[in-house]
């Protein structure tokens, strides 16, 4: 049997995310839609799917790793089928008991080992097989960028997503419309074949039908027998007012199509919010710089302040305000997703004239003569 990790091009300690990412990359690379008439690519596509089905399931992966450790998948002598006396199909517990009694590896209860092999390979006892179960489709992620104003007010955007979707011609069966898959003559519909391996016999997915138990003699011309096709779908996604940069919006059932009738995965839309030239966001609050003159800062004044959305409001600047002082306008910030608004923080920026007229210079000189030295210290 092929090394599933090698098939997907990942290490044996790869995370589920790494396995999924590699699977999606290879599935797109070898998909029959992108390799029309290429039998080698089609076979590779099926091998990749077979490997992913085992390694994406934590329990099946654990069992696969244990059998690999015991040498069940290494190269060994071929041979006929050794009838099992119980447990998983194609496995002879008497041979395994003999191997175990001679010190060969981990200790197993025979019923547990039969369950292990049955779960991994689909065996359900001598002469019987169990085809692979349906599998939920992979989740997808798409990115969308919205303007600051769109994040402020909310907007509906149309998001294109390239995905493997259920074939519209055969509705996922893989067979040409009007035909049905035939029972595989090699495994007699069980989806499994058996061979001797070392001290015991094991079942493995049928190489002809890839564990399906059936063969499509007249494949669908659209999906080439895979039951799925790569399509670009476009979804209307509602971006709520107040959305934060990096937020993810889940759209249930809009991910990759499931395998063998399994449910579709979900689509996650990650939102990127563009920065604004005037306002800086801090959570649900907004910060805006407002310039004031030296006189306004010293004497106090009422100034006009820009607000998000293009409006302006009056703000009273207290006398003696220093550069960098923040004044708060309650409820005038970004909308909160659960209701209400953040605050608008007005940062005062005291401006100094770059050039003074003769009159202005004289006035500042008179003022300077009356002001205390801010650098002096008192005992």
First to last CA, the chain: 89
Q: Provide, rounded to the nearest whole percent, the portion of the chain with pLDDT above 90.
A: 42
**Residue 91 scores a pLDDT above 50:** no
* Mean pLDDT (whole number) for 345-361: 94
Contacts of 58 (CB under 8 A, 6+ apart): 16
Distance CA 129, CA 139 (A): 30
- Confidence at residue 39, expressed as pLDDT on a 0 to 100 scale: 84
Q: pTM of the prediction? A: 0.58
Q: Look at residue 45 in the predicted model and tell me its pLDDT.
A: 86
Residue 351, classed as helix, strand or coil, is: strand
Asked whether the beta carbons of 186 and 212 are under 8 A apart, the reply is no
* Structural domains of the chain, ranges and CATH numbers in brackets: 136-181+216-274 (2.60.260.20), 280-370 (2.60.260.20)
Beta carbons of 352 and 291 less than 8 angstroms apart: no
Strands, sheet with 248-251, edge to edge from the N-terminal-most edge strand: 140-146, 267-273, 248-251
Average pLDDT over residues 188-193: 84
Q: What are phi and psi of 151, to 5 degrees?
A: -70, -30
Mean pLDDT of 274-285: 96
**What average pLDDT score do residues 237-245 get?**
96
Residue 253 has pLDDT above 70, yes or no: yes
**What whole-number distance in Å separates Cα of residue 135 and Cα of residue 27?**
15
Supply the mean pLDDT for the chain. Answer: 81
Four-CA torsion 104, 108, 109, 115, nearest 10 degrees: -120
How much is the pLDDT for 260? 65
Torsion of CA 99, 101, 107, 110, to 10 degrees: 70
70 vs 64: CA distance, rounded Å: 10
Q: What whole-number distance in Å separates Cα of residue 44 and Cα of residue 219?
A: 17
Least confidently predicted of 91-95, 227-231, 263-267, 314-318: 91-95
Whether 249 contacts 271, CB under 8 Å: yes
Average pLDDT for 233-243: 95
How much is the pLDDT for 41?
85
Burial (Cβ within 10 Å: 0-12, 13-18, ≥19) of residue 68:
middle
| Residue 200: per-residue pLDDT | 61
Compute the C-alpha angle 34/40/44, nearest 5°. 80
Cα–Cα separations (whole angstroms), residue 360 to 263, 291, 294, 354, 357: 77, 19, 12, 12, 5
Query: Of 23-37, 158-172, 234-248, where does the model show the most confidence?
Result: 234-248
Range name among 79-93, 159-173, 262-276, 331-345 with the lowest pLDDT average = 79-93
Task: Give me the mean pLDDT over the 327-354 stretch.
Answer: 95
Does residue 186 carry a pLDDT above 60? yes
- Most confident of the ranges 58-72, 82-96, 297-311: 297-311
Q: How far is CA 168 from the centre of its chain?
A: 25
pLDDT in tens, 14-73: 998 899 889 888 988 888 778 888 888 888 888 888 888 889 888 888 878 877 766 555
* Strand residues in the chain grouped as ranges (E): 140-146, 155-166, 182-183, 192-197, 200-205, 214-215, 228-239, 248-251, 267-273, 280-282, 285-293, 301-306, 312-317, 326-329, 344-351
The pLDDT of residue 74 is 45
pLDDT digits (tens, 9 = 90+) for 103-133: 444 444 444 444 444 444 444 443 344 445 5
Average pLDDT over residues 240-246: 96
Confidence class for position 163, pLDDT limits 50, 70, 90 = confident
pLDDT of residue 49: 83
**Cα distance between residue 352 and residue 78, in whole Å:** 91
- 333 class by beta-carbon count within 10 Å (0-12 exposed, 13-18 middle, 19+ buried): buried
- State both tokens at 164: 């493997």
Of 30, 49, 31, the closest CA to residue 223 belongs to 31
Those residues with Cβ within 8 angstroms of residue 49's Cβ, 6 or more apart along the chain or in another chain: 27, 210, 259
Of 34-48, 56-70, 88-102, 286-300, minimum mean pLDDT range: 88-102
User: Which helix (H) or strand (E) covers residue 299, if one does?
Assistant: helix 294-299
Axis crossing angle, helix 110-121 with helix 58-69, rounded to the nearest 10: 120
The pLDDT of residue 133 is 58
């Amino acid at each position: 049997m092929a090394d599933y990790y090698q098939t997907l091009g990942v290490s044996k300690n790869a995370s589920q995310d790494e396995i999924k990412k590699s699977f999606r990359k290879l599935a797109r690379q070898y998909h029959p839609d992108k390799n029309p008439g290429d039998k080698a690519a089609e076979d590779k596509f099926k091998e990749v799917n077979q490997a992913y089905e085992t390694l994406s399931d934590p329990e099946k992966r654990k069992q696969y790793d244990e059998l690999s450790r015991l040498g069940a998948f290494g190269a060994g002598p071929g041979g006929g089928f050794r009838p099992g006396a119980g447990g998983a199909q194609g496995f002879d517990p008497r041979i395994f008991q003999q191997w175990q009694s001679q010190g060969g590896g981990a200790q197993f209860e025979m019923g547990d080992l039969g369950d292990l092999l049955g779960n991994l390979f689909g065996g359900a006892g001598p002469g019987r097989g169990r085809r692979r179960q349906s599998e939920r489709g992979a989740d997808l992620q798409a990115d969308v960028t919205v303007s600051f104003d769109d994040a402020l007010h909310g907007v509906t955007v149309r998001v294109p997503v390239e995905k493997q979707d259920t074939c519209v011609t055969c509705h996922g069966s893989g067979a040409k419309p009007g035909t049905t898959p035939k029972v595989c003559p090699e495994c007699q519909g069980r989806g499994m074949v058996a061979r001797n391996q070392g001290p015991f016999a094991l079942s493995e997915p049928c190489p002809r039908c890839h564990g399906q138990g059936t063969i499509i003699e007249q494949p669908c011309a659209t999906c080439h027998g895979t039951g799925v096709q790569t399509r670009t779908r476009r979804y209307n996604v509602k971006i709520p007012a107040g959305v934060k940069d990096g937020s993810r919006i889940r759209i249930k059932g809009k991910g990759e199509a499931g395998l063998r009738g399994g449910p579709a995965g979900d689509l996650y839309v990650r939102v990127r919010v563009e920065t604004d030239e005037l306002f800086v966001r801090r959570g649900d609050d907004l910060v805006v710089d407002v310039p004031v003159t030296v006189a306004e800062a010293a004497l106090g004044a009422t100034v006009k302040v820009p607000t998000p959305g293009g409006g302006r409001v009056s703000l009273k600047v207290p006398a003696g305000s220093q550069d960098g002082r923040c004044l708060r306008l309650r409820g005038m910030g970004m909308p909160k997703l659960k209701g209400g608004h953040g605050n608008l923080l007005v940062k005062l920026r005291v401006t100094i004239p770059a050039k003074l007229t003769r009159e202005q210079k004289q006035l500042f000189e008179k003022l300077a003569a009356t002001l205390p030295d801010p650098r002096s210290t008192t005992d």
